[in-house]
Amino acid sequence: MCGIVGYVGHRQAQDVVVEGLRRLEYRGYDSAGIALVDAGTIASDKRAGKLANLEAAIAAEPLPPSTTGIGHTRWATHGAPTDRNAHPHLGQKARVALVHNGIVENYLTLREELERAGHELDSETDTAVAAHVLEQELLECDDLAEAMRRTCRRLEGAFTLVAVDAHDPTTVVAARRNSPLVVGLGEGENFLGSDVAAFIEHTREALELGQDQVVAITADDVVVTDFDGSPATGTRYHVDWDLSAARKDGFDWFMRKEIFEQPRALADALLGRHDGKGQLQLDEVRLSEDDLRTIDKIVVIGCGTANYAGLVAKYAIEHWTRIPCEVELAHEFRYRDPILTRNTLVVAISQSGETADTLMAIRYARRQRAKVLAICNTNGSTIPRESDAVIYTHAGPEIGVASTKGFLTQLVACYLLGLYLAQVRGTKFGDEIAAVVAELDKMPAHVQTLLDRAEEVYALARQHADTRSVLFLGRHAGFPVALEGALKLKELAYIHAEGFAAGELKHGPIALIEEGLPVFCVMPPRGRDQLHDKMASAVQEVRARGARTYALVEEGDDAAAYADEVIRLPKVPTLLQPIVATVPLQLFACELATVMGHDVDQPRNLAKSVTVE
């Protein structure tokens, strides 16, 4: 959601900025723009639509050479995605150019003030207001960093701002509050980006900024202050992935590449987390064992796919630890006055670590004195930084908007957390924990087996190019898998898809069944309980009403007896089955969206990282 790039150094800023914007395309956007500082003026261009539109415009009417510039991909909030509303926005006298991610909540009040002072704003966006305010301040103090600090003190809401001053071609200034921004540290050049993908081609040294900080970069220097001007420091870190991770490597989509990366991602998520004999060692969980023993309630929060990982976590954590575990959508959490105490552990799951709803929820939880543990994939992101503890999922960069390896590694992290709590609190014997860990270690190979059979699922997907509705059924830990399968189809194929707990069918959803409706059924493994047989009955019931049923079943299940088509899964314990059962559903959605001609990596209206509430 909105991508931001800033550059100052020895290269042509236009090339660096446009390439950076291309690497941020995955975040989702609907217009793009660039501004360069040129001999006392600002040269800029901005276009609605894809980055290619901007590139075509600057190819037709080239911008002047410059080594200082900023760029932006916009995901519309205030004002339609038009050329006029695209960023950068200029101040009244065109001395500053500004790009922005977030929402300025008091923009109407500021706009009225500006208009009373004679300003003419040429766009309905909150960003245009911020640009005019910034320039107003700059004209008073003649120092862009100071003007930025003064501006930030006047703005309410969430924002990352990046600006240039036509009178100072040596500097780019940025600020952040509740929105992402990272500094890339180069040799004789420095960068700004919404995330490291913006500059990974040039440097892997990065500086994480804190909340409410302003940074001024020149070719050789980076100066950080807080909004009042007191010196501040960011946290320096080395990015542990390189450009190859941000390339498709022969795949048609990043999503497909990321699905196929899952065996390695799972192995990385498990690496170093146990001693080989089943003893877990989660060194990065910075909560003491005493703290973990006093927990009397767990609340898992997240949005979208991360929420579904949380639903799976509930089954595992309650079973292994006997600690009551609630799962809640992060955006609902703080509005219902949840009961939290210092003995509550809030587990915040977020691939990006920047989801605004989840971030606001953890801040709320910490104010209530609950302990917060983040499960996150993105180093240097805000949610782990603001949490008491973190388990990184080590999936590597996830570029496709649809979460795939992010989800599977979130599941692993949830399992590891549950087992670790069981170990610390003694609710499972060591050999019981070791047995589950041994099963987890087999997951990369199991997923590889499923990927080797991808063509079977693709063939199935190609038969559904005209399908307008699909249902997914599951029970127990298979229920969140059904929800995830449906979400993947909605966001990629834009078709109606619903996930239901199979037991709920007769309470309403069965009325949706009609002749030929595809219904995917995530079958629980055969176990000591009767779940499998009850689910098989549900499959029969929808089949009897004309549905075409596709059963995802473990090896050895005689599913042909009750379902129309069978997708075989490796035999794994019930609680771990979501890892394997999700993979065919990812492949199905990816292939179906491909045959339908959709942009799989950047589905319409969606952003990878939802940084506004």
**Spatial separation of the C-alpha atoms in residues 1 and 523, rounded to whole Å:** 36
Nearest to 572 by CA among 558, 557, 586: 557
List the structure tokens of 214: 């302003």
In the complex with ligand M6R, which residue's Cβ is closer, 44 or 352? Answer: 352
Q: Which stretch binds ligand M6R (CB under 6 A): 12-20, 90-98, 207-215, 395-403?
A: 395-403
Q: Which of residues 471-530 bind ligand M6R (CB under 6 A)?
A: 487, 491
Q: Does 352 bind ligand M6R (CB under 6 A)?
A: yes
Please say if 490 is a catalytic residue: no
What residues between 226 and 265 interact with ligand M6R by CB under 6 A? none
Stretch that binds ligand M6R, among 47-55, 298-306, 338-346, 501-509 (CB under 6 A): 298-306
Identity of the amino acid at 144: L
**Side-chain half-sphere CA neighbours of 181 within 13 A:** 33
Q: Is 194 in the site for ligand M6R (CB under 6 A)?
A: no
Among 311, 361, 401, 501, binds ligand M6R (CB under 6 A): 401
Taking the least distance from each CB to ligand M6R, the nearer of 213 and 352 is: 352
Stretch that binds ligand M6R, among 251-259, 263-271, 346-354, 508-516 (CB under 6 A): 346-354
Contact 536, 474 (CB under 8 A): no
Q: Tell me the C-alpha distance between 423 and 350, whole Å.
A: 25
By the 8 A CB rule, do 403 and 378 touch?
no
Q: Does 402 bind ligand M6R (CB under 6 A)?
A: yes
- Among 314, 405, 428, 608, the active-site one is 608
* The one among 305, 409, 549, 602 contacting ligand M6R by CB under 6 A: 305
Do the beta carbons of residue 99 and residue 88 sit within 8 Å?
A: yes
355 near ligand M6R, judged by CB under 6 A: yes
Identify which range of 114-122, 161-169, 174-182, 401-409 contacts ligand M6R by CB under 6 A: 401-409
Query: What whole-number distance in Å separates Cα of residue 563 and Cα of residue 453?
Result: 20
By CB under 6 A, name the one of 127, 358, 379, 594 that touches ligand M6R.
358
Under rule CB under 6 A, residue 610 binds ligand M6R? yes
> According to CB under 6 A, which one of 304, 478, 480, 578 is a site residue for ligand M6R?
304
Residue 278's Cβ-side half-sphere holds a number of Cα atoms within 13 Å equal to 14
Catalytic residue among 2, 325, 376, 521: 2
Burial 529-568 (b: 16+ CB within 10 A, else e): eebbeebbebbeebbeeebbbbbbbbeebebeebbeebbb
Judged by CB, which is closer to ligand M6R: 265, or 505?
265
> Is 371 annotated in the active site?
no
Cα 358 to chain centroid distance, Å, stands at 11
Bridge partners for 72 per DSSP: 4, 33
Which residues are known catalytic residues?
A: 2, 608
Residues lying near ligand M6R in the complex (CB under 6 A): 303-306, 350-352, 355, 358, 401-403, 487, 491, 609-610
